[in-house]
Copies of this chain bind each other. A is one copy, B any other.
């Protein structure tokens, strides 16, 4: 969390909240945080979330992209889809997880993973006002590809209308973070096995241009300039 770039709409670090009955972390509570700033930093670092909901007698878990504005997580779907309908009909739980490093210990059990994760509970609401949807979808694109919105063929009213934009308050959320090396048992420290962390990173590969792309240079993304090693290396999922 500490290492992510503060984004313009990151809530102030003074924002804080207590856990609810269901967000209180029981396992390894020393890894917990409940303040909006901690939650928002992980939501921003993640590209994907999993949305869980109850529908027709079963629990479902569906992966989608998300973005954040202020104290809400946003996602988009087809207005006619099950996802677009089920999320308005009941409560949901959203999970975001980033794998930051493989933790290797001298014993099997003390192997672990460095991670950052968020779990959010609540009910999605639909953004229905066309200008508001337009603005939110623009923020989605601009958050991924800074400066790109103005270069695109303008979005039509029909496109906005076919799309459901849903948002979920971050009010009932928990963050959990593991960092650092293995925690081996004292009596195992001399056992001859390598101990440490192997960082896991995300990078952007060489852009694969369409044969008929009107421009030759791929635009920068939130992860940096594609194909430029180092710059494109980011520790997010």
Residues of A within 8 A of B (CB): 22, 26-27, 47-48, 50-54, 56, 58-63, 65, 78, 81-83, 91-95, 97, 99, 101-102, 104, 106-109, 111, 113, 115, 117, 119, 121, 137-138, 141, 144-145, 148-149, 151-153, 155, 159, 163, 181-182, 188-210, 212-219, 221, 223, 226, 233, 237
A194 to B147, CA, bound (A): 13
Q: B48 near A54 (CB under 8 angstroms)?
A: no
Q: A148 near B214 (CB under 8 angstroms)?
A: no
Q: B205 near A203 (CB under 8 angstroms)?
A: no
A76 → chain B, closest Cβ, in Å? Answer: 10
A232 → chain B, closest Cβ, in Å? Answer: 9
A40 → chain B, closest Cβ, in Å? Answer: 18
Q: B62 near A221 (CB under 8 angstroms)?
A: no
A196 to B221, CA, bound (A): 13
Q: Which residues of B contact A52 (CB under 8 A)?
A: 50, 52, 59-61, 93
Q: Which of A60, A115, A223 has the most CB of B within 10 A?
A: A60
Q: B218 near A107 (CB under 8 angstroms)?
A: no
Q: A214 near B200 (CB under 8 angstroms)?
A: no
A57 → chain B, closest Cβ, in Å? Answer: 9
Q: Which residues of B contact A205 (CB under 8 A)?
A: 101, 198-201
Q: Which residues of B contact A237 (CB under 8 A)?
A: 99, 237
Contact of A204 among B145, B182, B190, B199 (CB under 8 A): B199
Contact of A188 among B153, B189, B197 (CB under 8 A): B153
